[in-house]
Amino acid sequence: MAIPVLPGGSIGVLGSGQLGRMLGLAARSLGYRFHVYSPDPDSPAGPIADVECVAPYEDLDQVRRFASQVDVVTFEFENVPAATSLAAAEVASVRPDGHVLHVTQHRLREKTFLQQNGFPVTPFRRITSLEDLDLAATQLGLPGILKTASFGYDGKGQQLLRSPQQLPDAFLQLQGAEGIYEAFVGFDREISVVAARSPDGSFSAFPVFENAHSNHILDLTFAPARIPPALAAQAQALAHGILDALQVVGLLTVELFVTHDGRLLVNELAPRTHNSGHLTLDACVTSQFEQQIRAICGLPLGSTHLRSPAAMANLLGDVWINAGGSPNWSAALSDPDLRLHLYGKSQPRPARKMGHLTVTAHTVDDAIHRARAARARLISPV
């Protein structure tokens, strides 16, 4: 039986973005020391860390030194090189372990794992040549989606293909990288399940979140999702099966499509906290960040009870640009039930995630309306 890492211990995080920042704040609240490792010298998580190591992920000797100074290592995003995770595991517990990272950071491996373990996914094919793409489009039909197999998020590396004439140019845009072609899914809505699993196999899932995207980036999340309770329970059961099959210790997010005929298809996995789970900071008894700390440290998992309906709106750098400078914070905060979370990023850029806001309300429709209205007020004249 794994010995728990108790408050007072040290947690190391590979990655230092906003997820690492919020994870670090949760760790500090629970009494842990917090170390971060990333190649970025000006990062959201760095200023709140007890120890910040700025070095390349490929410097495996430095990674080992970093891991030797903490009790457990986790990561805040899945694009950490597998070799980095393996080097850290030589001297410390890494949770989730390198196998989970290996599967989930590569779309083809991820889809193959899901398919082989009986989880529902859209049909797909591996693409390494234009001939592969021609055959996949013939077998799975058009429209379809061509993606790079590795290092894609927020819609990066994705192309929607509608006609055979698009195939040659689309293949060239892979630039020699391995690809995956997926049959187009006519879906009714997108949902996600953020769930945790402890070293002893204990499992806990948050309420199902419903997500709306804009330009492939999450725009709005709300809970409870507007789906039948039986379908929500099915989504949580799918997440339970996936975490068990992967033997996850920590947090994992399952993104799903709800099809027009009421079926669930697994879209992607993220072995970490997730943008759609940010509303747990204000709407749930335990936040997703505290839950990750509890899971990787072997503490009892916290309650995932949703205190009230809530909606979370992302704040991208476009808000600052459209406001012509500093947003009108006073106008947004005029709603007393609104909570503002900024990530400590100094340079707003289009599509860059700068923060989010959450509104809790008596109904989910009211929360959605007020979250959108508050964000709109940010670009009103000061």
Closest by CA to 275, choosing from 255, 249, 256, 303, is 255
Q: Write down the pLDDT at residue 1.
A: 60
Closest by CA to 179, choosing from 137, 117, 138, is 137
Check whether the bond before 120 is cis (ω within 30° of 0).
Answer: no
Which architecture characterizes domain 123-183 according to CATH?
A: 2-Layer Sandwich (3.30)
Residue 62 CB: number of other CB atoms within 10 A? 17
Those residues whose C-beta lies under 8 Å from the C-beta of residue 116, and which sit 6 or more positions away, are none
Q: Write down the pLDDT at residue 216.
A: 87
Residue-wise DSSP of 189-239: EEEEEEEEE-TT--EEEPPPEEEEEETTEEEEEEES-SS-HHHHHHHHHHH
Q: Which amino acid is at 72?
A: V
Place of tokens 């709603």: 335
Residues of the chain with pLDDT under 70: 1, 151-156
Closest by CA to 17, choosing from 55, 45, 41, is 45
- In the chain, the DSSP E strands lie at 10-14, 33-38, 51-54, 72-75, 93-94, 124-127, 144-148, 158-161, 179-183, 187-197, 203-205, 209-214, 217-223, 250-259, 264-270, 310-316, 338-342, 353-360
Q: Write down the pLDDT at residue 381.
A: 84
Q: Which amino acid is at 310?
A: A
Q: Write down the pLDDT at residue 258.
A: 97
Place of tokens 């919020």: 22
* DSSP code, position 335: S
Which architecture characterizes domain 10-94 according to CATH?
A: 3-Layer(aba) Sandwich (3.40)
Domains of the chain by residue range: 10-94, 123-183, 187-377
Q: From CA 291, how far away is CA 26, in angstroms rounded?
A: 9
Q: From CA 344, how far away is CA 45, in angstroms rounded?
A: 8
Q: From CA 171, how far away is CA 135, in angstroms rounded?
A: 13
Those residues whose C-beta lies under 8 Å from the C-beta of residue 219, and which sit 6 or more positions away, are 212, 213, 313, 314
Q: From CA 266, how far away is CA 115, in angstroms rounded?
A: 10
Which architecture characterizes domain 187-377 according to CATH?
A: 2-Layer Sandwich (3.30)
